[in-house]
Each structure stands twice: as structure tokens, then as C-alpha cells.
Amino acid sequence: MSRRGGTVGFAVFAVAAVIVAGALTGLVWSVVVSPTQLRKTAGGLVLDEVAGATSFGATGWFCVTTGAVGLAIGAVVAPVARRAASVSVALSGLVLAMVAPVVAALIAWWVGQRLGAGPSPAQVAAVVDGGSVAAPLRLGTPVALAVAPLLAVVVVVAGSLWPARWRRDPSVPVSPGDQ
């Protein structure tokens, strides 16, 4: 296989891996979050203090789940960026560490909201006054999308700054410039 064919194959694999990671993260997010319960009154649906705190928890869990994906992507990209033969390849790795987690987080957001869609209007209408109904899963702030790329970049930069004497195989001779 030619070098170009191998690069295209790797790119297709990387895109598929990011899509699958995002979808699985969205699934995990929708499972670990306890649905916010809204109380039905004569005036409509009401969010009390406990339910308000639960809704903030959904954003926190989104940050935790997508943050784990960001750390994993950073751990995969860091060795590639560290061993890069040129600055352009190293910078490409850094850009990949910023873009891939954002794509995975967007997919997770979409999947999680589809799986935690909440009740239909007919189901809400069937609830009697004083009863409760689960609210749809929502992300409290889009800023949570920045957690995964931030953690990925931190891992890549930390891996690049790791001292040379700690990351080399002791059986391989060290050149004078690396000491």
C-alpha cells in the first residue's frame, strides 16, 4: 500500500473513532444523569430548587464524560506530536487535539439530547396537577463543549514538554544535544 493510501486509511479510521467515541459518550451521559423532575401545576410545569440542582448536574456529567474523551484523544495524539519530524506535523497534531474532541463533544451532545428527549406533549397533558414529569436532558451551557479540547491540549503540551531523559528508552544512546 502506498504512503498516501495508508494516510487516507488512518484518517478514515480516526474520523470513525471520533464519531463512535462521541456517540458512546452521549449514551453514557444520558444514562448517568438522573432526569430532572418537573412538577405540574395549574399554571404549567414548575422547576423547584432540587430539580434545578439536578439540571446543573447534567452539565457537570457532560463535562466529566467528554473530558475523559479529551484525555484519551490527547494521550493518543501526544506521542505522535512529540516524535514529529517537523514543526508542521507537531502543529497538525495540536490542531487535531483541539478539533477531534470538539467534534466528539458535539456528537455526544446531540446523541444525549436525543436519548434523553423527555416526554411528549401528550404524556405531559396526561399528568395530573401535582404530579411530576421528567424534563428533557439538556446541556446548561455550551461552554461545557470546551472541556474536552482543553484537556486534550493540556495532555499534548505536557507530553511535549516532558524531559527527554525521562521519555527515552535507556538502551538507546542519547545524543549530546538531548542531555
DSSP label of 145: G
Q: Are 11 and 20 in contact (CB under 8 A)?
A: no
pLDDT at 10 > cutoff 70: yes
Query: Crossing angle, helix 3-32 and helix 87-115, to 10 degrees?
Result: 40
Note the pLDDT tens digit of each residue in 26-70.
999 999 988 888 888 887 777 777 777 777 888 999 999 999 999
Query: What is the predicted pLDDT for the residue at 168?
Result: 55
Comparing 161 with 97, the larger pLDDT belongs to 97
Give the angle 156-157-159 at the CA atoms, nearest 5°.
65
Note the pLDDT tens digit of each residue in 62-98.
999 999 999 999 999 888 777 776 777 778 888 889 9
Query: What is the predicted pLDDT for the residue at 1?
Result: 47
The sign of the torsion formed by the CA atoms of 161, 166, 172, 176 equals positive
* 56-95: burial string, b at 16+ Cβ within 10 Å, e else: eebbebbbebbbbbbbbbbebbbebbbebeeeeebeebbe
Which triple of cell numbers denotes residue 126?
396526561
Query: What is the predicted pLDDT for the residue at 175?
Result: 61
Comparing 42 with 111, the larger pLDDT belongs to 111
Tell me the C-alpha distance between 131 and 127, whole Å: 6
Note the pLDDT tens digit of each residue in 122-159.
877 788 888 888 888 888 889 999 999 999 999 998 88
Query: What is the predicted pLDDT for the residue at 4?
Result: 58
Segments making up each domain of the chain, as ranges = 9-161
CA 17 to chain centre: 13
